[in-house]
Amino acid sequence: MLIPHPLLGLRDAQEFTYLGDATLLNRPDPQSETADAAFHDYVYLRDNPAGVHRELWFHDAGDRSWLVVTRDTTTHEILGAELARDVKLGITA
Amino acid sequence: MAFSGFRVVKEALTGHKGWGPLWRNPEPQAQYDFIIIGGGGHGLATAYHLAKTYGKSRIAVLEKGWLGSGNIGRNTTIIRSNYLLPGNQPFYEFSMKLWENQEQDLNFNSMVSQRTIINLFHSDGQRDAYRRRGNAMHLSGAGGTLLSQHELREIAPFLNYDNARFPIKGGLRQERAGTARHDGVAWGYARAADRLGVDLIQNCEVTGFRIQAGKLQGVETTRGYIGAKKVGVAVAGSSSRVMAQAGIRLPIESHVLQAFVSEGLKPIIPGVITFGAGHFYVSQSDKGGLVFGGDIDGYNTYAQRGNLPVIEDVLEGGMALMPMLGRARLLRSWGGIMDMSMDGSPIIDRTEIEGLYLNAGWCYGGFKATPASGYTFAHLLATDTPHDTATAYRLDRFARGYVIDEKGVGAQPNLH
Amino acid sequence: MTRLSNGLIDRSSPLTFRFNGTRYQGYAGDTLASALLANGVQLVGRSFKYHRPRGIFSAGSEEPNALVTVGRDAQTEPNTRATMVELYDGLEAYSQNHVGPLSHDIMAINDLAAPFLSAGFYYKTFMWPKTFWEKLYEPMIRRAAGLGALSGLPDPASYDRGFLHPDLLIIGAGAAGLISALTAGRAGAHVVLADEDSRMGGRLLAEDGIIDGIPAIDWVKTTLDELRSLPNVRLMTRTTVFGAYDHGVYGAVERVSDHLAATNGQVRQTFWRFTAKRTILATGATERHIPFANNDRPGIMLAGAIRAYANRWGVSAQRKAHDRIAIFTNNDDGHRTADALSKKGLPVLAVIDARPDAKSLGHYQTFAGSYVSDTRGRKGVNTIEVTRDGQSQWLECGVLGVSGGWNPNVHLASHHRARPIWDNEKLCFLPSGAPVGMSIAGAARGQGTTTQALADGQHAATNALYELGLPVQSHPAPVANDEPSNVAPIWHMPSRKRAWVDFQNDVTVKDIKLSHQENMRAVEHLKRWTTLGMATDQGKTSNVTALAVMAELTSQTIPETGTTIFRPPYTPVSMAVLGGGDTGANFRPSRLTPTHEWAKSLGATFVEAGQWMRAQWYPRAGETHWRQSVDREAQAVRANVGICDVSTLGKIDVQGADAALFLDRIYSNTISTLKVGKTRYGLMLREDGQLYDDGTCACMAEGHYIVTTTTANAGAVFQRMEFARQCLWPELDVTLISTTDAWAQIAVAGPKSRQLLSRVVDEFDLSNTAFPFMSCTELTICNGLRARLFRISFSGELAYELAVPARYGAALMEYLMGKGADLGVTPYGTEALGVLRIEKGHATGNEITGQTTAAMLGLEKMVSTKKDSIGAIMSRRQGLASETRRLVGLVPIDTNDPVVAGSHLFTTTADQNLKNDQGWITSACYSPHINSAIGLAYLENGTDRFGEEIIAANPLEGQSIRLRVTSAHFIDPKGDRLRD
């Protein structure tokens, strides 16, 4: 696979390591009264869709960026890639 | 009609006219007591045990494609009970005991071959971990032997002992482990279940659940609505997709595991061998093909195909471990979709919906579990209590903190 | 013996070769198959199951029968298709899968037993008695398994990998591929043209056609000359593109020197990864056959192959010059073979055409509406039975060509699991849903005449250029002289005898019928029940025919019956080349510590620690057992001073205004209260609450910290910290960089460590008051060398870790050795390090397994409840909070007994089973200070059980040892020494 790094262009997926669903950006509020349940869902439950999936890749053998890659899990077609930091901060390109 | 050597001879002499269908092609009925979704190994074994062991009737298996088209038909055929953790080991040992009577129970030769497995170790730390595991195996009656490098050289002289990046220091062997003919397992269960009156319905995809007031009524399918008192889902690889139709999210990701077979070669590899420092394991089938594999590709996918980096990784491991394989050729590679669970262990449990039961999360190790998975899932469906060997496989273990994490890598499925 | 006068062989280069020990002659340009045929050798192998005599069937990579073993000893290469082996001088090949000579295979008895060996027979028998499977039945079956044999010796060849990123990858260099390459090459595209053959031209090499008024062979030559002149075009022969992967990535293998008598230092094969912007699949088509009774005898071949041997290699497939050649066909292409052969003066018996309205296309007889209904000839066909309207006659015939039409080679187009589509006119599957970026041209998509292929190839290249944004020049496509072939849907000839569909695996029409009868009708059931299409040719000549037979049995159409799935590789690929040649010690890179060469010069023994090689111990003269060295090293640390390279520990530099806050969230304990110049031991949890890693965190300056990790987790911890920084809390002002490789870090441990260090540092007060336990600082040593000093201890002794830029590591080690000679300074390795930390009760990876909790180490207080950190919430789940096992020490009651890591713990009276299991021994060593073996263990409620006798059970090795539970801190439990 090739991943379109937003800063570096097309890079071989072998340069990256994969983490999982981009909902991992949304760590629950530890102070919340429902923190136990929220953390269970956050750590363990996944939509695991057959289709478009937003997911986290780390450019391990590259610039060490975490990316949010949008990819179709049935075709492996990549629909986009953003810096996870920008996604988290709400910065859109 | 029973299979036997006598019968094979008789049919051979009379032109094979007497062989009937291995199973019927029934039309779905309007209502069943039990519906098993998924005509793979686990689903078929569950239906068989419901009928045979628990004396139930009015059972149907609904299969989206053809019987055995799931991971039972695309794996590397290894059976073993060499686990570490108490949540797992008794279950897999129960499975091994069922394997040991498989042919006689099913009147079908699925070629269970206890040809041993050897897990190689390459450091003192790894040896200590294997010793701990080997002792857990002994404590559950599964047996095993810790082999020195010297002993290994006798058994597997073709391994790379003398010029290795990670020298082989020994291995943990389970004598009772081995392989079985994967398709034969599915067909054996299918035929036996059919003979007990189970309706095996192929080309019947479940498209939804009918649920009223938290209670399951039946399933919508591509062949119409079918009512059921209890529905068991055994669709590893697609568990998230199917359970989403009931509004249930699972601690599972779908990943692809590639597997490989070489051209047919005269027998050279004695049992199953796994490389402890590279991602590679291999056995040789009764037809002569080297059957091997390694890691999952590592990203969520439903595409049933993998990519080159893992192929290279697996073959690098193979060549590093067994340089004699160089002149063999890779014949075919394929990919199967795994239910990679969050702790690397399966789920056999009720769900929050009354009448809906789940058998899922087998990662890349479901094949060896087939007999016990079917048995214990049937037990749960029939009795509403977990089987003694499957009490740890609860869905709430994640919330309660009782995960069964053999590798100790935590809630990241691609590391299991 | 049957060599013709034409062909693309070099008659000035005769070559000798041996087959089964007999010496033969061929020419440069021959394949092993063409050379064997030229020598009148028809019988070359045996089938898998029935051991039927088999000959060469095809002229290409689809060959199911002519599999031979090439080479000897470590060079032995089994299952090699004779059709793909280029002849070289001295080549040695052997037939396979027979007991006794090839012509008198004892195993041919299986053929007589064939009625008992029907499809799936083994699933129905061999079940009684139970124990006989492993002991008798399976060994019997395995004796018959496989075709060729591996040598069992390491492959001595070398291999390579390569990477190319062409604009356009063209797979197949036949008419369509060549014109595509020419079109794209002229337009300036970077083109890779790859073909599995040794020579480009594809099917044009096997025909005698005309292109633009010149012989097609000359057109090929002219085209290749022009392509070679284009610097932007790379021509790769002997290169099989075996798989289509995601995003334009293709795997290919180039056979670099397999065809040479001597490799001349070249690698054997190269594994290429092509990353192509666009791809044109121009892989042509493969002829299929028509099953009829006894259709598997040597001498029965694909008609197109007979034509190819005659045209390209100047070989007739006859054994003797007067042997008559017949063609059995359902299409016009079969007639072309007859025409070509008759024009060469070969004795063509007739074309037997199943179509009632068939007409002759040349000067040969045609039996229209007829078919071959049986054959005879034990080791080669000698007579065929021709049937028309129920009337049969036997005719003498030495070669029978069969043509059932052509199947487009859609494989690579379907590697992404797209299903090809049936074309009811062309009677073949056409590609559909090809991978993104791939287009298909020529016979591979049913554009089978040369004229069509040329036009189609040019069209595909033009489209690709347009998509690449390159200029397109329009040339008229060349025109050839061939006509489309008419084909009739005639799939197999009825017979009560066996008619082979899959030759190698001996699957016959009867087997398909039985499969149908037993309700194994889905295509995948059919394949798996009968093993059809599972042989080394992966059903290239059999799958479509089998589908057609099943369709007939089920009264369905072929597309209703199913399609087959195409999986990589396209043809079998050497396992060694896919490994890329990184074998033996080069399997993975080795990371060497800054003091590696220095340690080597002292004769150190090294051990693999993950990616690293570390000094394990430093043997001295007179030491005959490793324990002597390790005991001495450990004792030197406790008595004097030892030095050890600990550079492999992960080092992460953390800086920024919010660094302290950030680290509070990373570590379970509090870091923000740490003062400048101080170091703190820290724990990291995973988000699921389990203990993940431990290490130290040193505050070097306001907003500047150095985090150390375990060697094993260095990369993963850094990745997790980057995750926290970028994905969880990007608003924090903090930056990270790994400095593991930048600094050499040397542990200086032992009561005399301060004395030694005082001789190294520049004007620095090392006194306990000025630089107490857990201090850290930047300083200079050795007259101005920048360094960092940490007063931390893994051994439990007064100890320091001194870090210098990595390139000074070895010099520092030597310097310390020199300065400390009078203090007894001793280098120590990982074994002594292990002894020292076990004696002190410090955890490593053996204890922090990813399945353990902070409380198990007695460190529950380090999981702060006053602040949030990764894993804090989940660590409070019931299953973790109720964990009762605790780290303890163990000593044997009989001091001569060993303590064995991996043993499980039981009370002295309990039955030893999983239910009574109370824990396990994590680490063990011999302690030269306790004078016995000692161990660390997790034991249920262990810290409440000091003094209790327990049993360490190791049934795996037949051991059961009585141990006493103690504190995990065998040495200096109060920690006076390290604070001294």
For C766-780, the pLDDT digits (tens) are 999 999 999 999 999
C769 φ/ψ angles, rounded to the nearest 5 degrees:
-75, -45
Percent of chain C with pLDDT over 90: 94
B300–A47: do the CB atoms touch at under 8 Å?
A: no
The residues in A 2-61 lying below 8 A from B, measured between CB atoms, are: 13-14, 17-21, 36-37, 40-41, 43-50, 53, 55
Percent of chain C with pLDDT over 70: 100
Kindly state the average pLDDT of the residues B291-318: 96
How many CB atoms within 10 Å of residue A57? 26
Helices (H), C158-302: 175-186, 216-229
B315–C687: do the CB atoms touch at under 8 Å?
A: no
> What do you get for the CA distance between the two ends of chain C, in Å?
96
B5–C145: do the CB atoms touch at under 8 Å?
A: no
CA C337 to chain centroid, in Å, comes to 41
Tokens of B17: 């006219």
| Average pLDDT of chain B, as a whole number | 97
DSSP C483: -
Kindly state the average pLDDT of the residues C342-359: 96
Q: CA–CA separation, C762 vs C360, rounded Å?
A: 103
Contact call for residues C114 and C525 (beta carbons, < 8 A): no
DSSP C648: T
Q: CA–CA separation, B340 vs A73, rounded Å?
A: 15
Of the candidates C844, C837, C843, C674, which has an alpha carbon nearest to the alpha carbon of residue C747? C837
Sign of the alpha-carbon dihedral angle for B370, B371, B375, B378: positive
Of the candidates B341, C539, B50, B292, which has an alpha carbon nearest to the alpha carbon of residue C526? C539
B302–A13: do the CB atoms touch at under 8 Å?
A: no
Tell me whether B161 touches chain C (CB under 8 Å). Answer: no
Sign of the alpha-carbon dihedral angle for C568, C570, C574, C580: negative
What are the tens digits of pLDDT across the range C746-758? 999 999 999 999 9
Sequence-ordered list of residues with C-beta below 8 angstroms from that of A9, at least 6 positions apart, any chain: none
Residue A27 sits at the vertex; the CA angle it makes with B339 and C671, to the nearest 5 degrees, is 120
Q: In Å, what is the CA distance from B66 to each residue of A12, B190, C519?
A: 37, 11, 11
- C31, β-bridge pairs: C86
**A neighbour chains, 3+ CB pairs within 8 Å:** B, C
Confidence of residue C737 (pLDDT cuts 50, 70, 90): very high
> What do you get for the CA distance between the two ends of chain B, in Å?
44
Contact call for residues B160 and B323 (beta carbons, < 8 A): yes
Kindly state the average pLDDT of the residues C856-882: 97
User: How far is the alpha carbon of A47 from chain C, nearest alpha carbon, in Å?
Assistant: 19
Sign of the alpha-carbon dihedral angle for B310, B311, B316, B317: positive
How many CB atoms within 10 Å of residue C822? 9
Looking at residue B134, what is its pLDDT? Answer: 98
C147–B158: do the CB atoms touch at under 8 Å?
A: no
At position B61, the amino acid (one-letter code) is V
A44–B342: do the CB atoms touch at under 8 Å?
A: yes
Contact call for residues B50 and B59 (beta carbons, < 8 A): yes
Coil/strand/helix, residue C220: helix
Q: CA–CA separation, C101 vs C869, rounded Å?
A: 75
- Block residue for tokens 């080549």: C91
Tell me whether A75 touches chain B (CB under 8 Å). Answer: yes
Q: CA–CA separation, B48 vs B107, rounded Å?
A: 13
A74–B412: do the CB atoms touch at under 8 Å?
A: no
C874–A39: do the CB atoms touch at under 8 Å?
A: yes
- Tally the C-alpha atoms within 13 A of residue C82's C-alpha that lie toward its C-beta: 31
Confidence of residue C128 (pLDDT cuts 50, 70, 90): confident
C123–B303: do the CB atoms touch at under 8 Å?
A: no
Give the residue from chain A lying closest to C250, CA to CA: A1
- Block residue for tokens 């076990």: C838
User: Length of chain C, please?
Assistant: 980
pLDDT reading at C99 higher than 60? yes
Kindly state the average pLDDT of the residues C175-197: 98
A88–C728: do the CB atoms touch at under 8 Å?
A: yes
A17–C719: do the CB atoms touch at under 8 Å?
A: yes
C719–A39: do the CB atoms touch at under 8 Å?
A: no
Q: CA–CA separation, A15 vs C93, rounded Å?
A: 43
The residues in C 103-132 lying below 8 A from A, measured between CB atoms, are: none
Looking at residue C1, what is its pLDDT? Answer: 59
C727–A25: do the CB atoms touch at under 8 Å?
A: yes
How many CB atoms within 10 Å of residue C791? 24
B140–C913: do the CB atoms touch at under 8 Å?
A: yes
Looking at residue C359, what is its pLDDT? Answer: 94
- Count Cβ–Cβ pairs < 8 Å, chain A vs chain C: 63
C433: left (phi over 0), alpha (psi -120 to 50) or beta: left
Give the residue from chain C lying closest to A83, CA to CA: C726
What are the tens digits of pLDDT across the range C232-279? 999 999 999 999 999 999 999 999 999 999 988 999 999 999 999 999
Of the candidates B222, B242, B229, B257, which has an alpha carbon nearest to the alpha carbon of residue B335? B257
What are the tens digits of pLDDT across the range C521-537? 999 999 999 999 999 99
Looking at residue A93, what is its pLDDT? Answer: 55
What are the tens digits of pLDDT across the range A46-89? 999 999 999 999 999 999 999 999 999 999 999 999 999 999 99
Tell me whether B160 touches chain C (CB under 8 Å). Answer: yes
Looking at residue C141, what is its pLDDT? Answer: 87
| Average pLDDT of chain C, as a whole number | 96
pLDDT reading at C836 higher than 60? yes
pTM of the model: 0.96
A73–B300: do the CB atoms touch at under 8 Å?
A: yes
Kindly state the average pLDDT of the residues C922-937: 98
Looking at residue A74, what is its pLDDT? Answer: 97
The residues in C 694-753 lying below 8 A from A, measured between CB atoms, are: 715, 719, 722-723, 726-728, 730-731
Looking at residue C140, what is its pLDDT? Answer: 87
Q: In Å, what is the CA distance from C56 to each residue of C40, C42, C540?
A: 11, 7, 15
Q: Does residue C478 have a cis peptide bond before it, meaning omega lies within 30 degrees of 0? A: no
Residue C641 sits at the vertex; the CA angle it makes with C635 and C645, to the nearest 5 degrees, is 100
Q: Which of B135, B279, B282, B297 to probe the C interface (max C CBs under 10 A)? A: B135
ipTM: 0.99
pLDDT reading at B1 higher than 80? no
User: How far is the alpha carbon of B5 from chain A, nearest alpha carbon, in Å?
Assistant: 46
pLDDT reading at C721 higher than 70? yes
Helices (H), C405-508: 450-468
Q: CA–CA separation, C323 vs C316, rounded Å?
A: 10
Identify which of A2, A84, A89 has the shortest CB distance to residue C247. A2
User: How far is the alpha carbon of B25 from chain A, nearest alpha carbon, in Å?
Assistant: 30
User: How far is the alpha carbon of C863 from chain A, nearest alpha carbon, in Å?
Assistant: 15
Q: Which of C49, C62, C124 to probe the B interface (max B CBs under 10 A)? A: C124
The residues in C 875-904 lying below 8 A from A, measured between CB atoms, are: 876-877
Sequence-ordered list of residues with C-beta below 8 angstroms from that of C397, at least 6 positions apart, any chain: C323, C324, C325, C326, C349, C381, C382, C383, C384
Q: Does residue C476 have a cis peptide bond before it, meaning omega lies within 30 degrees of 0? A: no
DSSP C977: H
Give the residue from chain A lying closest to B253, CA to CA: A48
> What do you get for the CA distance between the two ends of chain A, in Å?
23
Q: Which of A2, A44, A53 to probe the B interface (max B CBs under 10 A)? A: A44
Sorted by where each starts, the structural domains of chain B and their CATH numbers stand as: 5-81+84-107+182-251+343-415 (3.50.50.60)
Tokens of A70: 């949008």
Tokens of B126: 């790894």
Kindly state the average pLDDT of the residues B152-167: 95
Of the candidates C258, C47, C5, which has an alpha carbon nearest to the alpha carbon of residue C147? C47
Q: CA–CA separation, C294 vs B264, rounded Å?
A: 24
DSSP A29: P
What are the tens digits of pLDDT across the range A2-34? 999 999 999 999 999 999 999 999 999 999 999
Looking at residue C606, what is its pLDDT? Answer: 98
Give the residue from chain A lying closest to B297, CA to CA: A18
B105 φ/ψ angles, rounded to the nearest 5 degrees:
-65, -40
Tokens of C341: 């052969």
Looking at residue C134, what is its pLDDT? Answer: 84
Tell me whether B131 touches chain C (CB under 8 Å). Answer: yes
B264–C517: do the CB atoms touch at under 8 Å?
A: no
B401–C517: do the CB atoms touch at under 8 Å?
A: no
Q: CA–CA separation, B404 vs B365, rounded Å?
A: 14
Sequence-ordered list of residues with C-beta below 8 angstroms from that of C167, at least 6 positions apart, any chain: C184, C189, C190, C191, C276, C277, C278, C468, C470
Tokens of C120: 């799936």
Q: CA–CA separation, C980 vs C976, rounded Å?
A: 6
- Tally the C-alpha atoms within 13 A of residue C799's C-alpha that lie toward its C-beta: 27
Identify which of C251, C531, C536 has the shortest CB distance to residue B263. C536
B166–C608: do the CB atoms touch at under 8 Å?
A: yes
Identify which of A44, A47, A53 has the shortest CB distance to residue B398. A44
Q: What is the largest CA-CA distance in chain B?
A: 67
Identify which of A20, A45, A74 has the shortest CB distance to residue B250. A45
Confidence of residue A92 (pLDDT cuts 50, 70, 90): low
Sorted by where each starts, the structural domains of chain A and their CATH numbers stand as: 2-89 (3.30.2270.10)
At position B202, the amino acid (one-letter code) is Q
Give the residue from chain B lying closest to C916, CA to CA: B139
